[in-house]
Amino acid sequence: MIMSRNRIALFLSFLSLTLFPAVSWGIVDVTDNLELEGYVKAQNIMRASGLHDGELIQQRNTAQLEGKYYFLEDNKAFGRFSTGPIEEATFTFLARGVYDSVYDIRDSYEDTDDKGKSEYKVREAFVDFLMPPFTLRLGRQQVVWGETDNFRALDVINPLDLSWHWSRESWEDIRIPLWMARGIYDIGKIGPFEESFFELIVIPWDFQPNKVSTDPRHPWAFTGAGLAEIANSAIIGDELFDLDLTIRDIRPDRKLRNGQGGFRFKGILGDVGVSLNYFYGISATPGIKVRGDLTQLNLDTQTLSAVVDKVYPRTHVLGLTANYSEDRYTQSVFRLETTLTKGIPVSIAAGAPIGIDSDGDQYDTVRQSVVMLGIDRPTWIKLLNDQRTFFISTQFFWRRYLDHSSFYQGVSSVIPASIGGEVIADRFVSTNTNRLDRDEFVITFSASTSYGRAGRWKPQFVFAYDPRSTGAYNKLVLEYLWTKHIVFKAEQHFYWRESGSEQGPWSLGDLWGEAGNRRNETVFSATFQF
Amino acid sequence: MKQRAKLQAKFTNGTHHLWTFLRILMAGVLLWLAAPSYALEDQSYESLMKWIEDSRPGAETVMPGQHLTEKDRQSLLEPLIPHSAWKYYFFDGMEMEIAATGHYPAPDAWGENMASDYKLDEEGTLVGFTGGGFPFSEINRDDPNAAQKVLWNMLWRPGSNDYNMPMVTWLRSEDGSLDREMEYTSVNTTYARGDKSLVPGYEEVKSKKIMEFRSPRDMAGAKNMTIEYVDHYKEDSGWLYMPAQRKPRRTLASERTGEMMGMDMIREDLNGFGGKVYENNWAYLGKRKVLATVNVSDNPEIGGPSLWVPHKTRWEVRDTHVILIEPKAKNHPYSHRIVFIDAETYWTHWMFAFDKEDDQLLRMAQHFLKYSESYATEPATQSSYVKQDFSKNIGHKVFMHLGETDINAKKPHATITHCHVAKRDFTPARAKQFYSLRNMISGRR
C-alpha cells in the first residue's frame, strides 16, 4: 500500500521536474573546448496484474551528465603542444546518478536490501584519438555490433543490467560499459569492397556478467516461471527438507588470461553492406554447475545443503551481417544477421544419461546459431497521418541449438511444496519440467511516426510474438516534446499469450503474462533535458 | 430659360461628375476591399500561373536604395513577389531594402575542366556529366528540355557543396510561437570536379555529406551520411547514427515525400527540387523577374506577424527561369511544383508546391544567399555554438546559403533556418577519412 505522505512525495517530485525553470539552452559550452549536456528524469511505473489492482513499483529519478572535452585539435594538444600524427582527440564522459524513491515510500519494500535503490557511476569515460586513417578509443565504453535491434546475437560485447526494468529500457541505458580499447583502421576501397574498415577490440581484464536480480522482493526480479518466491525446501522421496542452497560465483578474475577481444571487417560489396565479425568472449549469462560432491543431506536437521557454482564459459562468436536498401520494388531496407556461437551454457535435467551429462553436474556448453532477417520501411499510411510517414521495422529471429538434447532445461519454476497432495504453507520447491526447443523463434514489429505542427507528438507501437509458446508483448508509447527541455512520455506494456502453457525463452507473455507473475505496466516519465 | 437650362446642364454635368466620382470611388473601395483580400487569400496553382503569365516588369520598376514598405505593395512589390507568397511577405511594418541587381561571376576555372561527352537521355536525365561547370551554357525557351536543363544547371551549380554549415532552425506556429528549435551542422564536399574526382578512385561519387544534430538533446548526436552519385539513376546511399542505438543504420533514400524531423519540408524540397528528374514531367515557363534575397549582408532578421519571413533585409531584382514540375506518381502529395531559379547563378530563390487534393499551396520555400566576395566588406554573424573563419570564403566566387524559410500553408506552420557557412577544402586523404562508414560507427555518445 502506498502511504498518503508518499503520494505527496510523488506529486512533489513530479512537480519539481515540470516546474524546473525553462532556461533556454541546448548543449552548455563551459569553455570553447568543453561541452556539457544531460537530463534529469523521473520515471514512475504502476504494475497491474488484473483490471482492479495496481501498485507503484518504480519511481526512478535519474540525473545524467555528459561531457566532451576537445583537448587536441589540428595536431596541437591544449593549443600548444605538437602531437605529430595525432590530428584530433577528445575526452568524453557520461555519469549517472539514480535514486529510486519507491524503496523509501512503499512499506512493502522496507525490508529489501536496497539493491537497485540507488546508483552513482561514471558509466562511460573514454578518449578518442584520430590519426588518419586510424582511430582509437580508449576507456570505459559501449560497442554495438550487428543489425539486430534488442536481441542478443552479435550485440554481446557489453553485458546488460536487467535488474531494474529487464530489457524494456533503451539498451543504451542498460548496457554495462566495459574498459576496453577499440581501434579502427579505415581502408576505403579494397578489391570489390567500398567504405571498408577493420576494427579491433581488446578488453584486457574487465569482465562483468549480465546483472539480474533474483530476489523476489524486487519488482523486476527474475524468479523463473511459477511463483515469485525463493525455493526454501526440497522433497526427497515423500519427505520435506529445508533447502540450504549455497551459490558460489566463480567469476573470472581481473587477469589478462580472462581478457576478451574481437575484430570486424565491414564494407560495401556492390550495394550490400556486409561485415564479418569474430568475438572471443566470456558468456555474460552464467551456467549453473550442480556440485553433487559438496551436497549434504542432514537427516537430523532435515536439511539439504546444496552447492551450485555459477560459471562463465568462454565463447566464440562468429558473425556475418548484411544490409541492402532496395529502392525500386519494395522501398525497404533489408537487414540480415547470422551468428554461430560456441560456449553457450545449458542446464541438464537431473538423471540425464552420462552421454549427455558426462560430468554429472547438470551443466554443459553447446553451439548455437542465430539468423535474423529485418525489414525497415518508411511507409505512408495517409489515413492515419498525411504529413509524415510511419517508420515500420520488423524482425524475424531464429535461434537454433546445434547441439541439442531433450534433457536440456529451460526456465525453472517455483511451486508450493506439497506432500501427499497436501500443500504446506510457506514452503516452496523449485522444479523444472521445461525443456529447451532446438529451434526458437520470435517476431517483432514496431511502427512509429510523429504528429503535431512540429512533430512533437511521437507515438510508437511495439509487438513481439513467440509463435511456439504463443507468448506476446505489446508496448504503446506516446512521447510529447513539450518544450525544448521538457519531455513527457507515457507507455503501456502488455504481456499476454494466445494459448497453451509452453514456456518460451524470450520473457514475453508466456512468462510475465501468467496469473501471479503478470507484469502489465503503465509507465509515465518526465524528463528535463539540456 | 437659358439660364435655367445652363444651371440644369451644370447640375446634370455636376451630377454626372459626382456620379462618375462616386462610381470610381466605389470601384476603388471595392477594389481595395475585394482585390487585396482575393490576392492575399488565393494561393491556388492557377493564380500563381496567372501571375507568372501576366505582368513581366523590368528591373527598373524598383530603384537601388529604395526601402519598400506595405504602401509600395500594389505598385512595386506585387509584380515582383510571386503571388502565392503575398500572404506571408506583405504585412504592416514590412520593409525591404532594394539593392542594384548584381553580377556575380562564377569561380575562375568554372567550365574549363568539364567532360564533353555528356547528354540528356529520353527521360531528360543527364548522363555522363561529372561537374566542373554548368552542363548547359544556354537555355532556349523553345527547347523541349529547357526545364530539365535549368534544373541540371541548378544541381551542378558552383558552391553547392564544400563547406562547414552550422545551422539553427526555428519551427514556428502561425501566431509566431516557437514550437521547436534545433541546432545542427552539415559538412559536405564535391567529389566530381569535371575531369577528375577529389579522391582518385571515387569517380562514381558526386558528393558526400555528413550532418550532425547538436540540440535539442533528444536529437543531439544523431548524424547521417549521404553519398550522392554522378549516375542520377543510382539512388543515394545513406546511414543514420542514433546515439540511443550506438550504431549506424542503413536508410532508404528513395522516400522523399514525408516531412523531415518535424520540419515543414520534405526531402524533395531541398534547394527547390531534390528528387529524381525521371520521376516527373517538366515544362519551362520562361523567364520572370522576381525579388530575391540573393546577396544579403547577414542572416536576415525574421519578421511578419508569424515571424516567418525575412524582414529589413536586402533584396535584388533577379532574372529567373521558371520551371514547372509535375510528379508522375499518383500518390505524390504535390500536383505541381514551380521553381524560380536564378538565370545567372542557378541558385533557387523561390519554390511553390501545390496540394494534389485541391491545387492549393501546400508548401513554399524562399532562400537567403550571400556572395562569397561580399564577406570582404560585410562580415557575417557567427553561429552561437562554433566560431569559424569566414575570411576563407573570399575568393571562391560562389554563393553561400545563409538560410531559408519553409512554409506549410495547410498546417499552417513554418521552418526558418539560419546557416553560418564557411568554405572548407578537404584534401583527398582527409575527405576519404571523414566521409567514411568508419566515421559513422561511433558518435557524440
Residue B175 CA to its chain's centroid (Å) = 24
Cβ separation B252–A92 shorter than 8 A: no
pLDDT at B17: 52
pLDDT at B434: 92
Backbone angles phi, psi at B315, to 5 degrees: -125, 150
- Complex ipTM, two decimals? 0.90
CB pairs under 8 A between A and B: 157
pLDDT at B443: 82
Asked if omega into A21 is within 30° of 0 (cis), the reply is no
A179/B70 Cα distance (integer angstroms): 65
- CA distance, residue A385 to nearest chain B CA (Å): 10
Q: Which of B287, B282, B283 is nearest to B53 (CA)?
A: B287
- CA distance, residue A156 to nearest chain B CA (Å): 13
3-state secondary structure A205-245: CCCCCCECCCCCCCCCCCCCEECCCCCCEEEECCEEEEEEE
Residue B426 CA to its chain's centroid (Å) = 27
The answer to whether residues A455 and B261 touch, using CB atoms and an 8 Å cutoff, is: yes
Q: Is the pLDDT of residue A184 over 90?
A: yes
Q: Which of A61-70, B200-209, B215-224 has the lowest mean pLDDT?
A: B215-224
Q: Is the pLDDT of residue B69 over 60?
A: yes
Predicted confidence band at A36 (pLDDT cuts at 50, 70, 90)?
very high
Cβ separation A327–B253 shorter than 8 A: yes
Q: Which of B324, B345, B348, B280 is nearest to B146 (CA)?
A: B324
- Consecutive H or E run containing A121: strand A118-131
Cβ separation A172–B436 shorter than 8 A: no
B173/B308 Cα distance (integer angstroms): 9
Cβ contacts of A266-269, under 8 Å, gap ≥ 24: A266/A196, A266/A197, A266/A199, A266/B437, A266/B441, A267/A187, A267/A190, A267/A193, A267/A194, A267/A195, A267/A196, A267/A197, A267/B437, A268/A193, A268/A194, A268/A195, A268/A196, A268/B237, A268/B437, A269/A192, A269/A193
pLDDT at B116: 86
Tell me, what amino acid is at A353?
P
Q: Is the pLDDT of residue A9 over 90?
A: no
Radius of gyration of chain A (CA): 25
What is the tens place of the pLDDT at every residue in B321-370? 999 999 999 999 999 999 999 999 999 999 999 999 999 999 999 999 99
- CA distance, residue B258 to nearest chain A CA (Å): 5
- Over pLDDT 90: what percentage of chain B? 84
Q: Is the pLDDT of residue A6 over 60?
A: no
Facing residue for A186 by CB, picked from B173, B217, B438: B438
Q: Which of A226-230, A301-305, B168-172 has the lowest mean pLDDT?
A: A226-230
Q: Is the pLDDT of residue A18 over 70?
A: no
* C-alpha cell, B2: 437659358
Judging by DSSP bridges, how do beta strands A314-326 and A332-348 pair with one another? Answer: antiparallel
Average pLDDT estimate for B390-394: 95
Q: Which of A460-464, B274-278, B383-387 has the lowest mean pLDDT?
A: B383-387
- Helices and strands (DSSP H and E) totals, chain B: 5, 20
Cβ separation B237–A484 shorter than 8 A: no
B87/B73 Cα distance (integer angstroms): 12
User: Which chain B residue shows the shortest CA-CA distance from A327?
Assistant: B254
- Over pLDDT 90: what percentage of chain A? 85
Q: Which residues of B touch A454 (CB under 8 A)?
A: 171, 179-180, 262-263, 413
Let me know the angle formed at the C-alpha of B211 by B210 and B215, rounded to the nearest 5 degrees: 155
Q: Is the pLDDT of residue A4 over 80?
A: no
Q: Which residues of A touch B331 (CB under 8 A)?
A: 380
pLDDT at B19: 53
In sequence order, what DSSP letters do the residues of A310-342 get, joined into one string? EE--EEEEEEEEEEEEE-SSS-EEEEEEEEEEE
Q: Is the pLDDT of residue A427 over 80?
A: yes
Q: Which residues of B touch A92 (CB under 8 A)?
A: 444-445
What is the tens place of the pLDDT at every residue in A396-415? 999 999 999 999 999 999 99
pLDDT at B292: 98
Q: Which of A195, A201, A264 to mutate to test the interface with B (most CBs of B within 10 A)?
A: A195
Q: Which of A243-247, A329-333, B215-219, B418-422 has the lowest mean pLDDT?
A: B215-219
- CA distance, residue A399 to nearest chain B CA (Å): 22
Q: Which of A122-131, A228-237, B4-13 has the lowest mean pLDDT?
A: B4-13
The answer to whether residues B350 and B342 touch, using CB atoms and an 8 Å cutoff, is: no
| Cβ of residue A192 closer than 8 Å to a chain B Cβ | no
The answer to whether residues B213 and B221 touch, using CB atoms and an 8 Å cutoff, is: yes
pLDDT at B16: 52
Q: Which residues of B7-34 are buried (b: 16+ CB within 10 A; e: fewer)?
A: eeeeeeeeeeeeeeeeeeeeeeeeeeee
The answer to whether residues A266 and A146 touch, using CB atoms and an 8 Å cutoff, is: no
- CA distance, residue A70 to nearest chain B CA (Å): 12
- CA distance, residue B351 to nearest chain A CA (Å): 19
Predicted confidence band at B188 (pLDDT cuts at 50, 70, 90)?
very high
User: Which chain A residue shows the shortest CA-CA distance from B181?
Assistant: A484
Facing residue for A186 by CB, picked from B257, B413, B433: B433
Q: What is the DSSP letter of B192?
A: B
What is the tens place of the pLDDT at every residue in B16-43? 555 544 454 444 443 344 344 445 579 9
* C-alpha cell, A270: 556492390
- Consecutive H or E run containing B41: helix B2-41
What is the tens place of the pLDDT at every residue in A478-516? 999 999 899 999 999 999 999 998 899 999 999 999 888
Predicted confidence band at B1 (pLDDT cuts at 50, 70, 90)?
very low
Asked if omega into B412 is within 30° of 0 (cis), the reply is yes
CA dihedral B341, B342, B347, B353 (to 10 degrees): -20
